[in-house]
Amino acid sequence: MSGRRRARACPRTRSEEREISASPCRTCVGCRQRAAKADLLRVVAVEGVCVPDPRGRMPGRGAHLHPDPECLAQAERRKAFVRALRVPGPLDSAPLRAFLSGDGLSEVGRTGPAKRYLASRK
Ligand SMILES: [Zn+2]
């Protein structure tokens, strides 16, 4: 397992870090497929924990993932979050898994575990 295969359609370059206003597109860190930014869940690292950021409002680097447990599993297997978020250590993705196992992403984004999780850490 190399983990080096990359979606050729969306080479990861520095331009990915800039906002491309024409057609915001990100690569899922799980399946490596390109998708509209709006279709992907933003994930940020907070104190060694992967935290879902459905509103895209949290500061810092974000990784993008399909809101799909399968993509999360792939991302975990290849430590994609550690790489994408440029953190030194392992990341706990339990909150993310909990988030994804709930249904109704938009609903969860407003009232679900992510919000509760973040509130509990303040
Ligand atoms: Zn995916």
Q: How far is ligand 1, taken at its centre, from the CA of residue 88, in Å?
A: 23
**41-60 mean pLDDT:** 94
Would you place residue 104 in the very low, low, confident or very high pLDDT band (cuts 50, 70, 90)?
A: very low
Q: How far is ligand 1, taken at its centre, from the CA of residue 32, in Å?
A: 6
Sign, CA dihedral 12-16-20-26, equals: positive
Give Cβ neighbours of residue 108 (< 8 Å, ≥ 6 apart): 54, 99, 102, 114
| Domain positions in the chain | 22-121
Taking the model in full, what pTM does it have? Answer: 0.66
CA distance 10 to 13: 9
How large is the C-alpha radius of gyration of the chain?
14
Q: Domain 22-121, what architecture? A: 2-Layer Sandwich (3.30)
Q: How far is ligand 1, taken at its centre, from the CA of residue 68, in Å?
A: 7
Q: How far is ligand 1, taken at its centre, from the CA of residue 111, in Å?
A: 24
Residue 114's SS3 state is helix
Q: How far is ligand 1, taken at its centre, from the CA of residue 9, in Å?
A: 14
